[in-house]
A and B are shown apart, each in its own frame.
Chain A
Amino acid sequence: MIIAKPKPIEEIIETTKEFKRILVVGCDGCVTVCEAGGRKEAQIVGSALRMYFKQQGTDVKVDEMSLTRQCDRPYVAQLEEKIKHYDAVLSMACGAGVQFLAETYKDKPILPGVNTCFIGVTEARGEWTERCQACGDCILASTGGICPIARCSKRMANGPCGGSANGKCEVNKEIDCGWHLIYERLKELGQLDRFEKPTGPRNWNTSRDGGPRKVVKEVSQP
């Protein structure tokens, strides 16, 4: 899922303070699971903003609600009636949700309430870690199910590099060396021959180097 973290309240105050009627919109998707921008977090931000503005003596209306997803048109359309009564929307969704609201409601300022971080997993309660960089050309079949693009700090296609020591990365000793993990896993699987044929240069066109991407599945189209 998409992992995000809440923006500092000071930053949210800074971007919302020029408005008189603010709607905080949570998203029930990924950001609910990573406890950054779901209904609960929207309520907390809404409450904090109301208290801040009241204590400043400014008359600002702040309400909260949440949408099933902010990255699908039918759910985004559910805002249509309500949004008319507000000057700005603070979207607690990932960057995709914020942009989808902005392109749907062209006359409303849509402000981000979270910082979108990465595609990852729930490592433990309250802890999320990165697993995928959405490079568009998955090579997990040849790397023991461990991604060198997401897990190696240098995104090396052939590793480990000389900076790997005791299974840790030179970038930060807290980070596991992705290629060390791959080596250990391939050893376990009896696939160490993978290291005998180095991978050629990657084609990064499927990643960000090819510009903004698009996926079309014709059979699913109307």
Chain B
Amino acid sequence: MTYPTNLKIIKLPCSGRVDIIHLMEAVEKGADGVIVAGCLEGNCHYQVGNLRAKKRVAYVRELLDKIGIGGERVAMYNLSAGEGSRFAEIAREMTEKIRQLGPSPLRGSGGNRSPRPGTEVAA
């Protein structure tokens, strides 16, 4: 059940609260990767929050690709609140992926440099 300590968790009532600008700001401020953890599709307590988040994540990935940051640094995962071990697995998987990609190109020169790779999670 352990997951990498480099994750910073941001709690939200629903993944539908995640807006494009939140994901952009996370990356701009130096996050190496961002996971949006929403409920399983069809299981949203607010009906379509996770589907809205999915579209916004896709939009941001495309935009990040276009500006040379790499859209794969932002990813959406769907899991239920009871799947703690799945969460740990996703966290490890994303951390490994980010490690392969290397640190964010935005952390190269001063500014928001943090001591270890940071991945933000919004749920």
Contacts and interface: CB of A to CB of B under 8 A. Distances in A.
| Residue from B19, B66, B109 whose CB has the most chain A CB atoms within 10 Å | B66
A13 B64 CA distance: 13
Contacts of B19: 40
A44 B67 contact: no
Interface in B70-98: none
A52 interface: yes
What is the interface of chain A mostly: helix, strand, loop, or mixed? Answer: helix
A9 B67 contact: yes
What's the interface size class on A, roughly? 10 to 19
A138 to B, nearest CB: 38
A13 to B, nearest CB: 7
Contact of B106 (A9, A13, A44, A54): A54
Nearest to A126: B55
Given A9-B63, A48-B63, A50-B28, A55 B21 contact: no
B21 A48 contact: no
A8 to B, nearest CB: 8
Interface of B: 19-21, 24-25, 27-28, 63-64, 66-69, 105-106, 109
